[in-house]
Chains A and B, each alone.
Chain A
Amino acid sequence: DAKTTQPNSMESNEEEPVHLPCNHSTISGTDYIHWYRQLPSQGPEYVIHGLTSNVNNRMASLAIAEDRKSSTLILHRATLRDAAVYYCILTGGTSYGKLTFGQGTILTVHP
């Protein structure tokens, strides 16, 4: 599985935008970029995913670099409820979608 690199932690203030980066320099042409998050004491939660184009949904936006070697998850207005561990995961090939979780980025949101 191609590897991703994320910062260990980030901080934000409530109601401000948050940009969570992810590097995946060994991504292959068929790998999808997925983002999940895990709030304290809960199961992982799907956030967004994409292949080549930028994607938007009600939770977040995903900006994918033109060479696909990096991506950024954008939370437009952080709330206290967005404090979680965010995982950037690549899926593709014969993985059948299995998720390989790394350490993720711990996001702290200050009121």
Chain B
Amino acid sequence: DSGVTQTPKHLITATGQRVTLRCSPRSGDLSVYWYQQSLDQGLQFLIQYYNGEERAKGNILERFSAQQFPDLHSELNLSSLELGDSALYFCASSTRGTSRHEQYFGPGTRLTVT
């Protein structure tokens, strides 16, 4: 158990819909990262937050947005869902969010868009 929690575990929804994925980091960790894992693209970095502020952005679509709240939990919002958004979404946390700090991953949310 990494100490990072993600809800829900599974999500099935229809195209065009909007969903919210939630992540609670390990106690004391200030930085949260979101990653997407799909069969064709592998594991890809989406976005990083540090203490409530966006710090780095990766291959995140404009239809996707995220935020980190004062209690440090984070939410990833996916809207206008397409079939290709079906994937595993992982959240990870680290103490200070720099290149010398390791990340601890949650169990993921499996999103299926039908």
Q: Residues of A with Cβ closer than 8 Å to B?
A: 30-32, 34, 36, 38, 42-46, 49, 51, 91-93, 95-103
Instruction: State whether A51 and B56 are in contact (beta carbons under 8 Å apart), knowing that A43-B2, A101-B43 are contacts in the complex.
Output: no
Binding stretch for chain A, among B13-21, B64-72, B74-82, B103-111: B103-111
Sort chain B's interface into a size bin.
20 to 34
Task: Name B56's closest neighbour in chain A (CB-CB).
Answer: A96
Q: How far is the CA of A43 from the CA of B89 in the complex (A)?
A: 9
Question: Which residues in B have their C-beta under 8 angstroms from that of A45?
Answer: 2, 105
Question: Which residues in B have their C-beta under 8 angstroms from that of A38?
Answer: 43
Q: How far is the CA of A38 from the CA of B43 in the complex (A)?
A: 11
Tell me the interface secondary structure of chain B in the complex: strand
Does B86 lie at the interface of the complex (its beta carbon under 8 Å from any beta carbon of A)?
no
**Contact between chains at B107 and A32 (CB < 8 Å):** no
Cβ of A63 to closest chain B Cβ, rounded Å: 18
Q: How far is the CA of A98 from the CA of B36 in the complex (A)?
A: 13
Instruction: State whether A51 and B48 are in contact (beta carbons under 8 Å apart), knowing that A44-B43, A45-B2, A98-B33 are contacts in the complex.
Output: no
Cβ of B11 to closest chain A Cβ, rounded Å: 16
**Contact between chains at B105 and A96 (CB < 8 Å):** no
With beta carbons under 8 angstroms apart, the residue of B2, B44, B99, B107 that contacts A96 is: B99
